[in-house]
Structure 1
Amino acid sequence: MPVTDELEPRVTLGATEADTAHAAAQHAAEALLGAIRDRGSARVVFASAPSQEAMLAELSRDERIDWSKVSSFHMDEYLDLAMDRPQAFGQWLADRLPAAALPGFARIRADAEAEEEIARYSTLVTQAPIDVTCLGVGVNGHIAFNEPAIADFADPAWVREVTLDVVSRQQQVDDGLFASVDEVPTRALTLTVPALTSAATMVCTVLGRQKAHAVARALTGPVETACPASRLQEHPGARWFLDQEAASELEGVAVTASSSS
C-alpha cells in the first residue's frame, strides 16, 4: 500500500539531481541542527554511494552545522578489501565529509577479525540514539547490505557479516567503482535493518532510472524483506528525495515538488 498517513507527502521530487540533493541535504541538516539544539550533539549514519555524493556535498557546505558536535558512522563496509582503497566505503565517505567532521567519524575496521569488529562497532552505534540515517536504495531494494534473501526486520543484532547478492556486486560495477564483478568483494559488515531504522529521521536519496523499479516497489508494494527498503513505509520519520528518473515508475503516491534552486 502507498504511504497514506497524516505525514504525507513523504516524497519530494526534484527537477534535477542537484535539486534533489539540495532538498535532501536541507532535510538532513535540519534534523542534525534540531538534535544539537535539543541535546547538544547529534549522531548520524551515512551511506557511501554515488547516489549520495551530491547530497553530501550540499550538507558539507552548510555552515550552520557544527561538526564538532556530530558523531558520524557509516552503514556498511567490505571485508577482504584494504581500508585505504577508494572503493572502501569508509574511505569513500572520509574523502567526502568536511574536514571538521572527520574527528567524529567512526569507521568500520575491515582489517580486524569480523566478530571482534561486530562487537566493537555495535557498542559504538548503540551508545546513544541515532538521530539521522542518510541512505539510498539498491537496485534490488536493499538498504545498506541487507539483501532481500537475508534481510530481517526483527534482527536482534545491530551489525552482522553478510554475503553479497550478485545483483549488488554488479551494481558496484555499473556505478563505475570496480572494473568487473569478480573484483567486488563477496563479504561485508552491515548495520542491520533495525539499526538503520532506529534513527528518528531517515533521509532516503535516490537518483536514476535504474532505481525506479526498486523505488516504486519500496513505496507502493507490500512491506516485506523481498524489498528491504519497503520497511521505510512503517517509519514515521522517513522521507524520500527522488529525481524525475527515480520516480518514473511511481504511481498513486502523493509527492511535493522541491522548492530548492
Structure 2
Amino acid sequence: MHIQIFDTQAELDASAANLLIDTVISKPNAVLGLATGSTPIGIYAKMVEMYRKGEVSFSGVTTFNLDEYVGLKPYNDQSYAYYMNKHLFAHIDIPDTQTFLPNGMAEDLDAECVNYDKMQVLKQIDVQLLGLGHNGHIGFNEPDHALSGGTHVVKLKEATREANARFFATMDEVPEYAITMGVGSILKANSILLVVRGADKAEIVKQALTGPITTEVPASLLQTHPRVTVLLDREAGRMLD
C-alpha cells in the first residue's frame, strides 16, 4: 500500500487525476471504476481540464460506477447518473455507450445486480477510484458481520443517510436503498486509488489502513489488495505515523 499526504486540495486532486489520466494514456481502452460524492469533484474537474487542453482522449475508455440510489431516475439531480454527467461525462469525449452505472430503477433489482457483475467480468477494471465513508464503507458496503462479494442491493444505515442528507432538501428525500458493487467486485480491480480528505475522516483512515481487517470496517479489506494507492490531505492523514 502506497500512501501520500498532501498539503493542499489542489495538489491532491491533481495527483489523483494524473494517476487516472496516465492509465488512459498508457492504455487508451482502459476500464475505469468511478465514484461519486464530494471527494471526486475536484479530480473530475482536473480530468476535464486536461482533456480540454488536448492532453488525453477518453474515446476508447469504458467506465463502471460503484453505486446508484434505488428509486431515483437518471435525470433526478441527486442520482449518481446525473452527477457523473454534470461533473465528467458531458465534458469529455467518452461515448454514452461506454459509461455504466447500476440501474436503480430496474424492475428486477436482483437481475440488475447479476448483469452488472457479468459486464465487469468481460471488462476488468484497471483502476478503481474510491472514497471513504465515516463508518468505513466503500461504495455502499456498510459495516456488518458479513459482506456481499458481488453487486447487491443494500439498506443504507442511518449514519450514511444523514451524511448524504446535505445533498437533499430534506432527510425524508434521502433514499433508503442503493445498488452497490460488493467488496469482492472492488477487490478484483487491477489497482485501487483511495482518496480521503478532512479531519473528520482521520480516525476511520487509521482504522482502515492500519487496524485489523474486519467487515465492521469494510475499507480495511483493502489491506489485502496488492496494488492500493492512498492519497490523503494533511487532516485526513494526521493520525498516521
TM-score (normalised: structure 1): 0.84
Number of aligned residues: 234
Query: Which digits, 9 at most, give the CA deviation of each residue in 1:185-216, with x for residues without a partner?
Result: 11110000011121112111111112111111
3-state SS of the aligned residue for 1:167? Answer: helix
Q: How many angstroms apart in 1 are the aligned matches of 2:36 and 2:13?
A: 14
Matched, 1:146 2:141: yes
After alignment, is 60-69 or 196-205 more displaced? 60-69
**Residue 11 of structure 1: aligned partner:** 3
Matches within 5 A, 1:151-190: 152=147, 155-156=148-149, 158-173=150-165, 176-190=166-180
Q: Deviations over 1:8-61 (max 9, x none)?
A: xx111111111111111112222333333xxxx111110111111001111222
Partner in structure 1 of residue 79 of structure 2:
88
Three-state SS of the structure 1 residue aligned to 2:22 is: helix
Q: CA deviation at 1:123?
A: 2.0
Indicate the SS of the match to 1:31. Answer: helix
Give the direction of change, closer, same or farther, for the CA distance of 1:72–1:85 in structure 2 (3 Å limit): same
Instruction: Tell whether the 8 Å contact from 2:48 to 2:92 is kept in structure 1 after alignment.
Output: no
Larger RCO (CA within 8 A; separation ≥ 6): 1
Q: In structure 1, how many angstroms separate the alpha carbons of the residues matched to 2:196 and 2:223? A: 15
Aligned amino acid, residue 60 of structure 1? V
> 2:186 and 2:146 mapped to 1: Cα distance?
12
Q: Is the 8 A contact 2:117 2:185 kept in 1?
A: no
Change (3 A) 1:149 1:18: same
Residue number in structure 2 paired with 1:257: none
Matched, 1:218 2:213: no
Deviations 1:153-203 (A, max 9, x none): xx45x2111111111111102xx3123332211111000001112111211
1:72-103 CA distances to partner (integer Å, 9 max, x unpaired)?
11100110222211211121112111331242
- C-alpha distance in structure 2 between counterparts of 1:65 and 1:160, whole Å: 34
Give CA deviations for 1:220-246 in whole Å, capped at 9, x if unaligned.
111111111111112121111111111
Candidates 218, 221, 228, aligned match of 1:238: 228
**Distance in 2 between residues matched to 1:62 and 1:226, nearest whole Å:** 38
CA contact under 8 A between 1:140 and 1:214: conserved in structure 2?
Answer: yes
**TM (normalized to structure 2)?**
0.91
- Runs of 4+ more than 3 Å apart: none
Partner of 1:56: 44
Aligned partners of 1:32 and 1:132 also within 8 Å:
no
For residue 93 of structure 2, give the secondary structure of its aligned residue in structure 1: helix
AA aligned opposite 1:74:
N
The one of 95, 106, 114 aligned to 1:112: 106
Structure 2 CA distance for aligned equivalents of residues 102 and 249 of structure 1: 42
Letter in 1 for 2:118: T
**Structure 1 residues 121-130 or 16-25, which shifts more?**
121-130
The 2-side partners of 1:96 and 1:169 are apart by: 22
Distance in 2 of aligned mates of 1:150 and 1:48: 26
Gaps of 5+ in 2: none
- Aligned partner of 1:28 among 20, 37, 41: 20
CA separation in 2, counterparts of 1:245 and 1:171? Answer: 19
Do the aligned partners of 1:31 and 1:201 also contact (CA within 8 Å) in 2?
no
Distance 1:44 1:54 in 2: 17
RMSD over aligned Cα atoms: 1.7
- 2:44 counterpart letter in structure 1: L
